[in-house]
Amino acid sequence: MQRVENMHSNREEKATLVVDIGNTNITCGIYQSDQMTWFARFHSSHSRTADEYYSLLKPLLSGLSGESISSIAMASVVPELTRIWQHLFQKYLQAGVWELTALSVPGLSYKVPDPSFIGADLIANAYGAWRKYGTSCLILDLGTATKVQLVSAEGCFEGTAIAPGLKTGADQLFEKAALLSPIELTAPAVLLGTNTRDALLSGIVQGHAFMLENYVRQVKLHYFDHKDMRVILTGGIADLVKPLVPAADIVDKSLTLDGIHLACKDSR
């Protein structure tokens, strides 16, 4: 599965390719003059080679040559795919590769002495929110896992909570429950269903929203000294959940890629 959006304004301008490698999807963006001008998403597959990934990537670049990509910024939480994409960069793109880690981003501080274990996606989200919004931010990232993380206005990564993602939990339920069949996840019509589909949508989607609402409430209570806290929803299903999470202020689906791009730019 792949999706591409083209927003090019000047194809001759030097560009940065930003790649975020996750457990479910690999997202890519082209940045020119600090603006994302192109976006694509691939399914994360361990069986694909670097050549196969490039065969998917190349036609989607829509006129951008390898020479016009002057730099590459990458974040990954999948070591095996990291190696595959590093091989792709080395073989096909003549540009230096910068990899985001807790130790490579400038300015962020952490509540632990050794932050090297913190996932690159969490670091990218924290850095992107800190740089883009300039205030304390509570980030709700809806992916393979649902991550709730807080970064202060001063750029301190306060901590995170990690739970099974909405779709991940739903897939496990359908796999384990013999009498339940997979359904398309949409906004629930009722709080308590009178049929299996409505009951599942309320329990899976609305239940996840209740969890997020309560996390926001509890974080604001426990971290009351973080004034003007912005609550940001990101991730592939952020639009689905937003109407059910009134506490969320912003949907920012490009937050992770923006964070990688900004951290790479600021580290130069």
pTM of the model: 0.91
| Lowest-pLDDT range of 11-25, 30-44, 207-221 | 11-25
Q: Which fold has domain 2-99?
A: Nucleotidyltransferase; domain 5 (3.30.420)
126 Cβ contact list (under 8 Å, min separation 6): 108, 137, 139, 149, 151, 157, 259
Alpha helices in the chain (DSSP H): 50-60, 79-92, 120-133, 166-176, 196-201, 207-222, 238-241, 255-267
Q: Give me the residue spans of the domains in the chain.
A: 2-99, 132-254
Q: Which two tokens stand for residue 235?
A: 């991730």
Query: For residue 52, what pLDDT is reported?
Result: 96
Which residue among 20, 34, 51, 121 is the active-site one? 121
For all residues of the chain together, what is the average pLDDT? 92
Query: For residue 7, what pLDDT is reported?
Result: 55
Q: Are 72 and 29 in contact (CB under 8 A)?
A: no
The DSSP 8-state label assigned to residue 135 in this structure reads S
Query: For residue 9, what pLDDT is reported?
Result: 47
Cα–Cα distance between 11 and 147 in angstroms, integer? 36
* 34 tagged catalytic: no
CATH class label, 132-254: alpha beta
CB atoms within 10 A of CB 217: 11
Q: Are 44 and 23 in contact (CB under 8 A)?
A: yes
- Average pLDDT over every residue of 70-90: 95
> Could you give the 3-state DSSP secondary structure of residue 255?
helix
Query: For residue 60, what pLDDT is reported?
Result: 79
**The length of the chain, given as a count of residues:** 268
Query: For residue 62, what pLDDT is reported?
Result: 65
- Structure confidence by residue, pLDDT tens digits, 93-114: 888 899 999 999 999 999 998 9
Q: Judge if 2-99 and 132-254 fold alike in CATH terms.
A: yes
